[in-house]
Amino acid sequence: MTAIASSAVAVSAAASIPSRSLNPFATCWTGTGKLAHVETRALSLPKLQVELERLGYRGQVVGPHGVGKSVLVRSLAAHIGGPPSIVVTTPARALLRGIRGDRRTLLVIEGLERWSMLLVGLWTIFVRWSGLRVLVTTHRVVRGIPVLTTLSPSAEIFALLFDQLTRERPTPISLSEAAACFHAHGGDYRATWLALHLEHERRRGQPPVGPCRVAFR
């Protein structure tokens, strides 16, 4: 193969690689903590801060998988300010940070439902004893930590997030198609972004043919 042919093959291969900057649904835009929190009357960060303060800076955000719990707690921690918040996901790291950390630091624990009931029970006792500030996400209510708010899939919030993602990086997928995809995935934001990511790549550079597949599967 000549040098020119090799170069042409390399250019062709590079051109076929999807560019994440051109796909509004790539994980660099939709991954955990990447999306900006969408303010609504029920999910106002100032109001949630007031409520968390009333609860002694101990609260849990409850909701199913992929509903936006991580985005909310990270956004709320950033809104509160003060000493930098610390995000952990494992019991060992949570305990280590709890023992060593500044009591003014907000410890954010994601995925508390993955802990055993014994660990959760011991942890809640430690939190009450130590006066630690904690904000956790969980699929189900955990005894011993007050519920700050409960999240559920929201078509309104999804539409606002879709607009946020596609404002500077357009997509051939319409909002109505994306909303149908969101509904088909049971309101799971993460699963919907993945499906939209794949569908966007399928359509990239060519107009969609025929009706859109609702679930994009």
Same domain, yes or no: 145 and 59: yes
pLDDT per residue over 48-66, tens digit each? 999 999 999 999 999 988 7
Q: Diameter of the chain by CA atoms?
A: 73
Instruction: Say yes or no: 216 and 121 in one domain.
Output: no
In a domain, 89, yes or no: yes
Among 150, 185, 204, the domain boundary falls at 150
Question: Is residue 6 pLDDT above 90, yes or no?
Answer: no
> Do 128 and 163 share a domain, yes or no?
no
Could you tell me if residue 34 is inside a domain?
no
Last residue of a domain, one of 129, 150, 171: 150
Regarding whether 110 and 180 lie in a shared domain, the answer is: no
pLDDT at 102: 64
Please determine, for residue 34, whether its predicted confidence score (pLDDT) is greater than 70. Answer: yes
Please indicate, yes or no, if residue 145 is contained in any of the structural domains.
Answer: yes
Task: Point out the least confidently predicted range of 10-19, 42-51, 68-77, 101-110.
Answer: 10-19
Residues 196 and 179 in one domain: yes
Q: Is the pLDDT of residue 7 over 80?
A: no
pTM of the full structure: 0.73
| Domain presence at residue 67 | yes
pLDDT of residue 65: 83
Contact 139, 64 (CB under 8 A): yes
Out of 150, 175, 200, a domain closes at: 150
Of residues 123 and 101, more confidently modeled: 123
Examine the domain organization and report whether 90 and 54 are in the same domain.
Answer: yes
Highest averaged pLDDT of the listed ranges 100-104, 154-158, 208-212: 154-158
Is 15 part of a structural domain of the chain? no
How many structural domains is the chain composed of? 2
Quote the percentage of the chain above a pLDDT of 90.
Answer: 32
User: What pLDDT, on a 0 to 100 scale, did the predictor assign at position 205?
Assistant: 66
pLDDT over 50 (residue 18): no
Residues 138 and 183 in one domain: no
Q: Are residues 50 and 145 in the same domain?
A: yes
Residue 126 pLDDT: 86
162-177 residue pLDDT tens: 999 999 899 999 999 9
**What residue numbers bound the domain in which 167 lies?**
154-217
pLDDT score at 101: 63
Task: Round the average pLDDT of the chain to a whole number and report it.
Answer: 80
Report whether pLDDT(15) > 90. Answer: no
- Are 108 and 122 in a shared domain? yes
- On whether residue 17 sits in a domain, the answer given is no
CATH number at residue 144: 3.40.50.300
* Domain identity same for 139 and 62: yes
In this structure, the answer to whether residues 159 and 99 fall within a common structural domain is no
Q: Does residue 171 share a domain with residue 137? A: no
Taking residues 79-107, report their average pLDDT.
76
